[in-house]
Structures are given as structure tokens and as C-alpha cells.
Amino acid sequence: MTVAVPKETHAGETRTALVPEHVAKLVALGAKIEVESGLGLSCGHSDMDYTRAGAAVRTDRAAMLAAADVILQVRKPTLDEVSALREGAVLIALLDPFQSPELIRALASRSVSAISMEMVPRSTRAQKMDVLSSQASLAGYAAVIVAAGQSGKIFPMMMTPAGTIKPVKVFIIGAGVAGLQAIATAKRLGAKVEAFDTRPVVEEQVKSLGAKFVKIDVGETGQTEGGYAKALTDDQLKLQREGMSRICAESDIVITTAQVFGRRAPVLLTSEMLDAMKPGSVVVDLAVESGGNVEGVVADQIIERKGVKIVGIASLPGRVPVHASQMYSSNVTALLTEFWDKETQALKLNLDDDILKSCVVTHDGRIVNDKIATAT
Ligand code: NAD
């Protein structure tokens, strides 16, 4: 079975779907690996590294993709690329399925079996394939580093003959995987950190990292069976914003990570709240790709508004492409290994399996995931 890995074409994407370390693992399973020349250059791997690991390096991208049994990518393909895939091929990528109805329909009509890595369930068995978690933890780390670079302040307290410098105040909104890593990173740099999340279970995790959990009573919240936040009502969001505005105004750095699975991110920082912040403060919005938590945020831009910098970076894991690629590659390799049939030395998609039931979105000419079918 041939597994092909093309270079990413999405503007600014620095990650790659497979690193040499995992090429060797897949070759050991009996897979034939082909990679497009230059695949790993943005994340620390030369063509020679891939060749040494057992891959064939190809320069004819179109021919490679047209013949492949399995295609691994980070970002979703274009519609043109889909029409060039072999019928019955398996495509594994971050397909952004809720925002890509046309693409999903095209994959189904091409009879491609498409695996959406975002749809891998958050179960214990699937943990090693969980790209949302691996990329989110890196995004949380990178958000703090970006904020530190934009701030005119240092993070730690410093006592010097020239006076005492107070630690910077960081407020993290949304303490899921990214938020918790942002808290840990900001603490390591010496900041005073506060955090808020609508899921009450998060309080203990926030405290265990040495940060203060901000309490805002917005009424009934809770989480879904999968551990995701439930969407708040408009009235609850209003209460939340009121509860957060004083903390935002006093903070030097605000990092927002609040997301509600499959929906637009809630707007949590209004223009009014931004106006109340101190000049020189920095806001980093990790939810920018799903609509943004901050009013007026623009993807891949730093906007300055009355001295407050609003940073919207669409792919923060792409800021640390070496480790982001390593982790993504490890996740897709775990998925391939889990569903690899040793006898036939091929990937076998049994749609009765819990993990595949959730992440295979198109198969045999149909959209097979009910949630995606409804959204498409
Ligand atoms: P996410 O990216 O969907 O959301 C980020 C955070 O935003 C969440 O903590 C959410 O509660 C929070 N949020 C939503 N609306 C908010 C609002 N209005 N104000 C403040 N915060 C708000 O979530 P995630 O980080 O991907 O993870 C969510 C959950 O999944 C967590 O409980 C995590 O522990 C769980 N999880 C489980 C597994 C597993 O069991 N294998 C793996 C990964 C994550």
C-alpha cells in the first residue's frame, strides 16, 4: 500500500504530516512511503533524512497523488486536488469539516475515504491520535511566547538596585488543553496568572498549576459527554463579560482560547472592554480561526487599538513547526498503525470501530458521519 505525503500548499503552513522517525515505523509495517521533495524543509528535515528512513522522494506531485492509496496532509486539499485523487483512496488531514461542506461533498462523490483528524474522539484509546490536543498544547505555549514578544514588559518580578519590577499580569480565558498549557508557560516565565472557564471541573486544574481561578456566576454551564463546553446563552455571555471586564482592564496580557466544538467561538472581549484596557496591553486570540473571541480580531494580523495590541495568528502551532510536525506525525502514525491489517499489509477501515465511526467522514461515495451530513 502506497502512502503519499505532499508538501503543504496552504499559505503560511510550516508543518508537515509525516517526519522521518515515523516513516521508518510505517515502512516496518509494510507500507511504501512516498514524499514530495522538500517536504520537511520548514520543519528541520532534508530529503536525505526521508530517504534514509526508507521513503522514496518524488518530484512529480500530481502523479504521486493520483496513484496513492493513502494521502497524509496537515491541511485540507483544494477541490481541484480532490478531483485528481484515485477513487477509493484514503485521505487523512485536518479537514475542517464543519466549515467545508463543498469539500466534503466532493470527497464523497470522488469515493475518497476521508478521515478528519479533528473528529477523532477524545477517548482514552484514541489519546495517541488526538491532534486537537497535541496541536492545542503547542498553541497555548506559542501564544504566551508571542504575547511576551509583543509586550513591552518582562514577565517575572525582578528586585534590582534600580527598583522592583512587578510580575506581569496574565489573564487566560478558556482553560482547556491550550489554556492550561498557556497558564503553565506564563507561570514558568514568572507571571501572575488568573484564568476562567465555564466548565467548573477546570478549577482544580487551574489551581494545580499555581494560577488563580476567577469565579463568575453565569448560572448553569457544565460540559458535554465528550468533555466539551456547552454553548452559553446570550444572557450568560453578557454576565460573563461583565464579570471579566475588571480583570481584563487590570491585565497586561489576555489570552483567549474559548471554543465550543462545531460552533462559532463566543465573543468574549467587546470593543468596550478593549477600550478599558491599559495602553501597552496585549491580547492574543487563539480562537481566531473559528470566528474569534475578541471583537475586531483579524487572522494573521496585529491590530493596534488605542495602544492595545490585538494579535490574531491563524496557526499558532505553525510557530513551532518542528515539534508541531513531530506530534501531528506521531498522531497520524498511531492511527495508521491501529487500523493496519498485518496480514494484507494495508489500512483496513472498519466503520463499526468507535474511533473510525467518529472520524471517517466520507466512504464508498457517501457522507458517513451523521453530524457532518447534517451540517453539509
Ligand atoms: P476547546 O478547544 O473546545 O475549548 C477550549 C476551552 O474553552 C474549553 O476548556 C472550554 O470549556 C472553554 N470555553 C468554552 N466557552 C467558554 C466561555 N464562554 N468562556 C470561557 N471558556 C470557555 O476544548 P479542548 O481544550 O479541546 O478540550 C475540552 C475538553 O476535552 C477538556 O475537558 C479536556 O480535558 C477534554 N479532553 C479529553 C481528552 C481525552 O479524554 N482523551 C483529550 C483531550 C481533551
Query: Is there a single domain that holds both residue 158 and residue 37?
Result: no
| Shared-domain flag, residues 325 and 280 | no
CB 141 within 8 A of CB 318: no
376 — pLDDT class (breaks 50, 70, 90): confident
From the CB of 227, is ligand 1 less than 6 Å away? yes
- Which whole number is the average pLDDT over 31-50? 98
In the block, cell 518580578 appears at 157
| Pocket lining: 252 vs ligand 1, CB cutoff 6 Å | no
Tell me, yes or no, whether 290 and 312 share the same domain.
yes
Nearest residue to 108 (alpha-carbon basis) of 373, 354, 335 = 373
> Is residue 173 domain-shared with residue 295, that is, in the same domain?
yes
Residue minimizing CA distance to atom 42 of ligand 1: 122
Residues 293 and 245 both lie in one domain? yes
pLDDT of residue 375: 79
84 and 172 both lie in a single domain: no
| 51-60 pLDDT per residue, tens | 999 999 999 9
Residues 173 and 306 in one domain: yes
Pocket test residue of 137, 197, 244, 255 for ligand 1, highest count of atoms within 8 A of CB? 197
pLDDT tens per residue, range 279-305: 999 999 999 988 999 999 999 999 999
Q: Do 280 and 370 lie in a common domain?
A: no
Q: Single out the residue of 245, 188, 199 nearest to residue 222, CA to CA.
A: 199
* Tens digits of residue pLDDT in 225-247: 777 788 899 999 999 999 999 99
Task: Kindly state the average pLDDT of the residues 99-111.
Answer: 95
Please provide the average confidence, as pLDDT, over all residues in the chain.
95
Among 319, 335, 361, residue at a domain's last position: 319
Q: How far is the CA of 229 from the centre of ligand 1 (A)?
A: 6
Residues labelled catalytic: 122, 127, 130, 133, 228
Q: Is 229 in the pocket of ligand 1 (CB under 6 A)?
A: yes
Distance 139 CA to ligand 1 centre (A): 14
What CA–CA distances, in Å, run from 344 to 30, 54, 94, 127?
Answer: 9, 20, 27, 26
Place 224 in a pLDDT band, splitting at 50, 70 and 90. Answer: confident
pLDDT score of 221: 84
User: Do 147 and 249 have their domain in common?
Assistant: yes
Residue corresponding to grid cell 504566551: 144
Does the CB atom of residue 290 touch ligand 1 within 6 A? no
**Torsion angle, alpha carbons of 227, 229, 230, 231, to 10:** -160
pLDDT of 317 strictly over 90: yes
266 CB near ligand 1 (under 6 Å) = yes
Residue 256 and residue 145 share a domain: yes
Q: Choose one of 302, 319, 336: the last residue of a domain.
A: 319
The confidence score (pLDDT) of residue 357 equals 95
From CA 278, how far away is CA 140, in angstroms rounded? Answer: 23
pLDDT digits (tens, 9 = 90+) for 158-208: 999 999 999 999 999 999 999 999 999 999 999 999 999 999 889 999 999
Tell me which of 274, 299, 319 is where a domain ends. Answer: 319
Establish whether residue 222 lines the binding site of ligand 1, counting it when its CB lies within 6 angstroms of any ligand atom.
Answer: no
Give yes or no for residue 113 having a pLDDT over 80: yes
Q: How far is the CA of 107 from the centre of ligand 1 (A)?
A: 29
Nearest residue (by CA) to ligand 1, atom 32, is 227
**Residue 258 CB less than 6 A away from ligand 1:** yes
pLDDT band at 30 (very low <50, low <70, confident <90, very high): very high
| pLDDT confidence of residue 262 | 74
Query: Ligand 1 pocket, 265 CB below 6 A?
Result: no
Q: Both 354 and 274 in a single domain?
A: no
Confidence band (pLDDT; 50, 70, 90) for 371? confident
The residues that bridge with 56 in the sheet, in sequence order, are 34
Confidence band (pLDDT; 50, 70, 90) for 97? very high
Distance CA 317, CA 17 (A): 13
Counted domains in the chain? 2
The pLDDT tens digits for 271-283 are 999 999 999 999 9
Least trusted range by pLDDT, from 147-151, 313-317, 349-353: 313-317
Look at residue 223 and tell me whether its pLDDT is greater than 80: no
- Structural domain harbouring 161: 137-319
Pocket probe for ligand 1: among 131, 198, 358, the residue whose CB has the most ligand atoms within 8 Å is 198
Residue in 14, 16, 18 with CA at minimum distance from that of residue 3: 18
Is 90 exceeded by the pLDDT of residue 261?
A: no
Q: 252 versus 200: which is more confidently predicted?
A: 252
Q: How far is the CA of 153 from the centre of ligand 1 (A)?
A: 30
Q: Let me know whether 43 and 176 are in one domain.
A: no
Contacts of 153 (CB under 8 A, 6+ apart): 168, 252, 280
CATH code for the domain of 286 = 3.40.50.720
